[in-house]
Structure 1
Amino acid sequence: MTTVKERETIQQQFKERMSEDELLNCMRCGFCLPTCPTYIESGFQESHSPRGRLAVMKAVVDGVIEPDEDVERSLNMCLGCRACEPVCPSGVNYGHLLEEARDIINQNKTHSLPVRTIRKAVFEGLFPHQNRMRTLTGLIGFYQRYGLQSAVQSSGVMKLLPNNLSSMEKVLPEIPTMKEMKSRPTHLPAKTTVKKRVAFFSGCLMDTMFMKTNDSTMKLLQLAGCEIVIPTEQACCGALHGHSGEKNKAKELAKRNIEAFEDLQVDYIITNAGGCGAFLIDYDHLLKDEPEWVFRAKKFSKKLKDMSSILVDLQFHKRKLSLPAQVITYQDSCHLKNVMKTSAEPRLLLQSIENSEYREMKNADQCCGSAGIYNIVESEMSMQILDSKMKNTKATEATTIVTANPGCLLQMKLGIEREGLTGKVRAVHIADLLIEAAQSPVPEIES
């Protein structure tokens, strides 16, 4: 709960920092409404729509309403999927406005001690430090490999947790060993004639919990003719910070990444996580008020490319790809589609796999409800959205659900678990499926 003084400060900063021109761009036409999962799942509440949230922001700027708990609640209920942006005839940059509003509120309110402790541990103590990410992930791996997971599950302790959290524990990926996480390559040669020299953004969670998917991605790039550079100085992309009202910390991470990649002399910077890619490509906006950085950020952002895009560019979909007979469907990563404008390429790659049948899911481009940590902090709405997503998924009769983002992958695995489809349906990252489908011998990662 905010004090009167805090609300006054927040309101003043809304007036100073929120772009009134951008807010006025919203014509209230309502084109965004059918694309917004929270608007639909809330029973068409205007306060849970992009149009409604923009109106709330404008009202705070104008002093019509106070930035109270209802305002904060409306903004926090947003998934940040940015599905409203491609359909907006005025081109409102809703995602930028949302992040600015959240940052203003977060930086000018007093959190409770437990919340302050958790935020400090996560945003300052964990994600900016890859060695700590490896340590934490290693502990999860120890829990999986040495009988603790099965013991905890059989004890019934997990039943004390909310259903979605206990289910999440079951669907965690198989964690690599500490030795594997520490032995990461910094340069990989192409496995054929060199067509492109690229840098790979390995990420924080992607290079620990989802390390095998990173390995699959790099193997695919090698097979497609890419020489790969993986800078050791790179850091977390900062998306979690930026989406959670920790803008200054996101800027620090952005600067570290720009410095790590800018002198590598590469054609592209490749990502394999839609959420990371979307935040990285927006670095020029994040640093727009820092003249000494904004030009460097623009150069960085222009080189960003999703792995599926470069694979299509290099004609990977025309090589021999085959899988045992199965029905495949694809769940879009919101940020990959809505921010990085990449949706046709993953589908083209999947449709090129022989023996399999690709079936398009209804509303495949609507958010699955993961949205970073949304499925933890707003679990009720997240599960409601996931239930709708699984209804559309089951209608395809797919046995393989493909995603392009780690959060989406875990969410779809959670959906499979909740629907009792474990063992009948699997969820897999597109990089891992394409490596399965590649007919050439799969190269090992070599330092």
Structure 2
Amino acid sequence: MQSSENKMSTSISSLKPAKDSNFLGQNPHLEDLQPTSFDAKHPPKQSLIDTCVHCGFCLSTCPSYRVLGTEMDSPRGRIYMMDAIKKGEADLEMASEHFDTCLGCLACVTTCPSGVQYDKLIAATRPQVERNVSRSSDDRLLRTLIFNLFPYPNRLKAILIPLYFYQKSGLQKLVRSSGLLSKVFARLGAMESILPQIPASAMNASFPEVIPAKGEKRFRVGMMLGCVQRFFFHPVNEATVRVLTANGCEVVIPKTQGCCAALPAHQGQEQQAQTLARQTIDSFAGTDVDAVIINAAGCGHTLKEYGHILQDDEAYRERAIAFSAQVKDVNEFLVTAGLTAELHPICDRDLTIVYQDACHLLHGQKISAQPRQLLGQIPGIQLREPIDASLCCGSAGVYNMLQPEVADELGQQKVENLANTGADLIASANPGCSLQIQKHLQLQGRVIPLRHPIELLDLSMRGEKLEI
């Protein structure tokens, strides 16, 4: 049996450009070509690569490895490839598909006994792939659509009315029942499959710029609205405002804010992420807030990474670090600030809830206990825990659109694990996770309501009941 090191060496050899005689006959200049490698702009640091001792503890927690079962689709294998690319022993272009299969869930960072900072390694590798690897025309088209639509709230708002009528006319039901879209354009079908029901209220989703606290003012906080969250999960933002104001927070919502940069940052779209990060910092400049609140896990992780995203920008670097220090996930903030509003039961009977850990809360921000602590304060709530709670659901930003096969297997597993708890309701603190879970609940024919934890707190503070 081959050792793990030998298996990785064998896999690496397959990532070297082929130079067989037949191909050379068609392209006599191939032997003069050098493998594509990392460029000089922030390649993965050798010191971070060298901390990996290839022990394999990360394998069982890595979602792509668990689905695909190949060494090069694991954190250990990818780090091995990074090292080989830097040494000219492997080709970046040929290895890029294995970097693309990484969900960026960061479970390996939590698991690693050697403290390998895989998050920094993959964050450095993805911009290298985007700058130095040619993608297929289909891949370029889909990525162009994603990165020119989702990070821009005004563009998203412009398509709400067509999407609303697409759903209400029955066309969506016809498209989904036929299955043709997924068969002909798998990735476009994957994108359509997570489209949530668009409420009429989404067309006019807006807030005043300053919303006063209820009762005594304890804090002045800023609030990020998000992009997908702003329109497709507007009720979550409304609930967040009500909960914050009910607990003595004056809420500031700058009109000029846009995307937090999470989607482009997670996919190596470096320049776009930097532009959006600067816009966010400028939007909150001069607001004199005690904290900037975010209720979406992936957005929160990126907002806390602005110091890294803008590390080369002399004008913004220090401002980025200071801004990120103010960012707080809403669960994190409320536990620290304490709840002052009275809480009431949200059901006429005891209610069992299973909380789903979003990866960028659990692994990225190390926030897991706080949502559970808040939910546990609601009278009549009993929390249940799923098996494999830390396993990614497969959403991972836009991963479920770019890698639908892997994402679907992970989504199926996640929903089975959540449903097997027998809970009455699922609580999820990230819009991408919520869309992914709702999709697979529907595919499995399961009827289990899903709410953001802040929505449940809001119901409790207002004394309203769920009908379950």
Query: Structure 1 residues 85 and 166 mapped into 2: Cα distance closer, same or farther (>3 Å)?
Result: closer
Please name the residue that 1:331 is paired with: 356
Is the contact between residue 404 and residue 430 of structure 1 (CA under 8 Å) also seen in structure 2?
A: yes
Confirm whether residue 130 of structure 1 aligns to residue 153 of structure 2: yes
Please name the residue that 2:456 is paired with: 433
Please name the residue that 1:153 is paired with: 173
- SS of residue matched to 1:17: coil
Write out the 4+ residue segments of structure 1 that deviate beyond 6 Å after TM superposition.
1-7
Is the contact between residue 278 and residue 335 of structure 1 (CA under 8 Å) also seen in structure 2?
A: yes
Is the contact between residue 158 and residue 166 of structure 1 (CA under 8 Å) also seen in structure 2?
A: no
**Letter of the structure 2 residue corresponding to residue 116 of structure 1:** R
Query: Structure 1 residues 354 and 241 mapped into 2: Cα distance closer, same or farther (>3 Å)?
Result: same
Question: Deviations along 1:392-414, whole A, 9 cap, x unmatched?
Answer: 21221012111000000011111
* Selected match of 2:225 from 179, 195, 202: 202
Please name the residue that 1:377 is paired with: 402
**Letter of the structure 2 residue corresponding to residue 222 of structure 1:** T
**Letter of the structure 2 residue corresponding to residue 161 of structure 1:** L
Question: Deviations along 1:186-208, whole A, 9 cap, x unmatched?
Answer: 11111121111100011111111
Please name the residue that 1:307 is paired with: 330
Further displaced range: 293-302 or 112-121: 112-121
Confirm whether residue 285 of structure 1 aligns to residue 311 of structure 2: no
TM-score by length of 1: 0.89
* Selected match of 1:27 from 35, 53, 68: 53
CA RMSD of aligned residues (A): 2.8
Please name the residue that 1:175 is paired with: 199
Further displaced range: 2-11 or 344-353: 2-11
Query: How does 1:398-409 map onto structure 2 within 5 Å?
Result: 398-409=423-434
* Selected match of 2:65 from 27, 39, 43: 39
Is the contact between residue 262 and residue 300 of structure 1 (CA under 8 Å) also seen in structure 2?
A: no
**Letter of the structure 2 residue corresponding to residue 33 of structure 1:** L
- The answer for unaligned runs of 5 or more in structure 1 is 443-447
Using the alignment, how far apart are the partners of 1:247 and 1:6 within structure 2?
A: 31
Please name the residue that 2:23 is paired with: none
Please name the residue that 1:224 is paired with: 247
Is the contact between residue 201 and residue 271 of structure 1 (CA under 8 Å) also seen in structure 2?
A: yes
- SS of residue matched to 2:115: coil
Query: How does 1:82-93 map onto structure 2 within 5 Å?
Result: 82-93=106-117
Please name the residue that 2:133 is paired with: 109
Query: Structure 1 residues 287 and 91 mapped into 2: Cα distance closer, same or farther (>3 Å)?
Result: farther
Query: Structure 1 residues 7 and 333 mapped into 2: Cα distance closer, same or farther (>3 Å)?
Result: farther
Using the alignment, how far apart are the partners of 1:122 and 1:405 within structure 2?
A: 19
Is the contact between residue 427 and residue 452 of structure 2 (CA under 8 Å) also seen in structure 1?
A: yes
Asked which structure has the greater CA Rg, the reply is 2
CA-CA distance at 1:38 after TM superposition: 1.6
**Letter of the structure 2 residue corresponding to residue 38 of structure 1:** S
Please name the residue that 2:144 is paired with: 120
Query: Structure 1 residues 111 and 170 mapped into 2: Cα distance closer, same or farther (>3 Å)?
Result: closer
CA-CA distance at 1:95 after TM superposition: 2.0
CA-CA distance at 1:143 after TM superposition: 2.8
* Selected match of 2:209 from 186, 193, 198: 186
**Letter of the structure 2 residue corresponding to residue 29 of structure 1:** C
Please name the residue that 1:445 is paired with: none
Confirm whether residue 296 of structure 1 aligns to residue 349 of structure 2: no
**Letter of the structure 1 residue corresponding to residue 425 of structure 2:** T
Please name the residue that 2:5 is paired with: none
Is the contact between residue 322 and residue 438 of structure 1 (CA under 8 Å) also seen in structure 2?
A: no
Query: How does 1:256-275 map onto structure 2 within 5 Å?
Result: 256-275=279-298
Question: Deviations along 1:209-231, whole A, 9 cap, x unmatched?
Answer: 11111111111111111100011
Please name the residue that 1:248 is paired with: 271
Query: Structure 1 residues 151 and 37 mapped into 2: Cα distance closer, same or farther (>3 Å)?
Result: closer
Query: Structure 1 residues 238 and 48 mapped into 2: Cα distance closer, same or farther (>3 Å)?
Result: same
Using the alignment, how far apart are the partners of 2:259 and 2:236 within structure 1?
A: 17
**Letter of the structure 1 residue corresponding to residue 99 of structure 2:** L
Is the contact between residue 311 and residue 317 of structure 1 (CA under 8 Å) also seen in structure 2?
A: no
Query: Structure 1 residues 42 and 109 mapped into 2: Cα distance closer, same or farther (>3 Å)?
Result: closer
- The answer for unaligned runs of 5 or more in structure 2 is 1-14, 18-28
Question: Deviations along 1:346-368, whole A, 9 cap, x unmatched?
Answer: 00111222223211112222211
CA-CA distance at 1:307 after TM superposition: 0.7
